[in-house]
A and B are shown apart, each in its own frame.
Chain A
Amino acid sequence: MTAEATVTITIRSEDSAVGVLPAMWAVLMRDLRGAFRQRQDLLNPLLFFVMVVSLFPLGVSPEPAFLREAGAGILWVAALLSVLLSLDHLFRHDYDDGTLEQLVLQPQPLFLLLLAKTLAHWVVTGLPLVLLTPVLGVMMQLDGNSILVLCLTLLIGTPVLSFIGSIGAALTLGLRSAGVLLSLLIIPLYIPVLIFGTGTVSAATDGAAVSAYMALMGAFLVLALTLAPFASAAALRISLSNS
């Protein structure tokens, strides 16, 4: 370890600060890079999603009429549970290896860094589910319009699930077995999203207009996007404070 030239060290002023956007970008890229180096973790929620959905025709009824009626709901519930399963990983690894402490100590607004982090979580869990949905929709005998609407609701809905989930994940971080508590905390908050998500699809199946439902889903997304990072930042500080 070589020493450098003797320059006097002074207090760093605001001019030497790094902008928040590069900092958010760095968080996003680090998480994505880490996720793509551990591919089995990437496949986990996806496999769970596919398995749950494909067990219904086997376990309940392969009748097209039943599948058409229950398909959207099954897909939504499976997506919800698969996001829920992946939530514990959102902060856990970072907490264990100390990168979370360093994230909190960055001279940047923490909620924006968490926004980037949750976005990365959505890209590796929620987005693949949305991309897989058309295939499973065909399997569930849904018609083209319903599948399109279903994909749209999931595209809007899964980030909401990730953002709401980030609050619970941050709150339960200090606990050794957080799984049960996390589900209990988060599922009630997921219910409105689920109801409106499936409601939109059944409206579309009935041939009704879906724009009002979509607008409400959009409102959920805006609300989650703007408020959840603040809440998870506060929760994270508490969790770290007690560790």
Chain B
Amino acid sequence: MLFRDLSFAIAAGTLTRIEGPNGTGKTTLLRILASLNDSYSGQIMWRGQPRAWRREEFLRNLLYIGHRPGIKPLLTPLENLRALMAGRQQTEDETLRRALEGTGLGGFQDVPSGQLSAGQQRRVALARLLISEEPLWVLDEAFTAVDHTGVAAIEELLLQRARRGGAVVVTTHHDLQLPGMARITLGGVADDG
């Protein structure tokens, strides 16, 4: 068992960081939150009702970016982004292009993603943050392989998001210090999560 007696709420307009040493179940917790992992006992409520009842509504409001960014190496960043957004929201190619430019991939739109660096591939996935309409973001190790300026930009983005009424849950090994951030510490006692 990874954790028990764990209870918390993610409210709109909050930023929550899940912390803990390796192997304490940060990723597992996020996968449970994102409804990818069903091997838990307990209850997860979505807007006051059990989540399982309103799965599709929950998924419509969730943006999850995991360890593996979901980028196909054979497709270009633009094609990847288009495929990732397709079932979620109507987006024009122009919007996607601008999002890619916003992540510093302006000149790489038509290069197969497999030829990009790990950080650049991660940026393709993170471009979704710029156009996402989903209020709940669950980001697992979002900063991996991204350089310092990139990290600063994402931090700013997350803060803005919370200020605008979105909810953000992150895990990161990067030392994240954002004002008003709640913490949930696994593998120990929670302090103010």
Q: A residues touching B (Cβ–Cβ < 8 Å)?
A: 1-4, 6-12, 14, 16-18, 20, 22-23, 25-27, 29-30, 33-34, 37-38, 93, 96-99, 101-102, 104-108, 113, 237-238, 240-242
Contact = CB atoms under 8 A, between A and B. Distances in A.
Contact of B72 (A20, A34, A113): A34
Interface stretch (B2-10, B87-95, B172-180): B87-95
B: interface residue count bin: 35 or more
B59 A105 contact: yes
B61 A11 contact: yes
A38 B164 CA distance: 43
Given A12-B60, A99-B72, A30 B135 contact: no
Contacts of A30: 72, 75, 79, 83
Contact of B39 (A17, A107, A242): A242
Interface of B: 12, 34-39, 47, 56-57, 59-62, 64, 66-75, 79, 82-84, 86-90, 102-104, 112, 126, 129-130, 133-135, 150, 153-154, 156-157, 160-161, 163-166
A98 B64 CA distance: 11
A107 B47 contact: no
Nearest to B164: A9
Q: Is the interface of B mostly helix, strand, loop or mixed?
A: loop
A53 B1 CA distance: 53
A218 to B, nearest CB: 31
Given A98-B68, A107-B88, A242-B39, A33 B164 contact: no
Nearest to B101: A2
Contacts of B75: 30, 33-34, 37
Given A3-B156, A6-B164, A102-B84, A12 B68 contact: no
Nearest to B152: A1
Contact of A241 (B37, B82, B161): B37
Nearest to B59: A107
Contacts of B133: 9, 12, 16
Given A12-B134, A34-B72, A96-B68, A105 B84 contact: no
A6 B161 CA distance: 9
B5 to A, nearest CB: 22
A108 B59 CA distance: 8
Nearest to A93: B72
Contacts of A104: 36
Nearest to A98: B68
A86 B150 CA distance: 40
Given A107-B59, A107-B60, A241 B156 contact: no
Contact of A1 (B88, B89, B154, B164): B154
Contacts of B73: 97
Contact of B135 (A9, A33, A38, A237): A9
Contacts of A96: 68
A2 B88 CA distance: 22
B105 to A, nearest CB: 11
